[in-house]
Amino acid sequence: MQPATAAVAALIAGITPYDELEQRHAAKVSAWLDSTDDIFRRTKPATPSPHLVSYVVLTDPDAQAIYLGRHRKAGLHLPMGGHVDPGEHPSTTAHREAVEELALTPTFDVVGPHSVFLTWTTTVGLTAGHIDVSLWYVIRGDHTRTYPLDPTEFDGGQWWPLTPSGLPPTDPHLPRFIGKLNTLLAQTRAPQ
């Protein structure tokens, strides 16, 4: 196993699954990482499939809100994020994507600097049909601000309540992510 693949495998091993589906995704991703070092997208839109993606979820924990952008290619309201470049650590991707797509220097202090969620998803929209292995990171935002999303990627964005129901068309795993994030936020607020 190449060092970059081993780093991703260690990252996956450090994520505590939220539910049975995330546990199955973790097992599938671990088996995939054991079988190949070809884990980074080399050719747009989908080679190889699967490949790594980092989501960076802008969250205002005090207002209990998340910021989603209307993604042009997927046709969904999504967190910001992008493909992990060859050899790049997924946390570096999350930082880079926050700078590129949100025009901000991210603060990973909401629930920590590590990825908190893992998904194995078949894509939809203009680039439908390949597998994204997504690592979800959480960064701090301010619900009183509007963020200038990259217009080549997004057609605007807005804040949504941090509840798993009432969401616009989105990533099929976002409601579960919100459930996990709410659990993590409750743990960080609990007296020690």
For 95-107, how does the pLDDT look when each residue is reduced to its tens digit (9 = 90+)?
999 999 999 999 9
**Given a cut of 90, is residue 124 above it in pLDDT?**
no
pLDDT (tens digit per residue) in 148-162: 898 999 999 999 999
Predicted structure pTM score: 0.95
Do residues 147 and 102 touch, judged by C-beta distance below 8 A?
Answer: yes
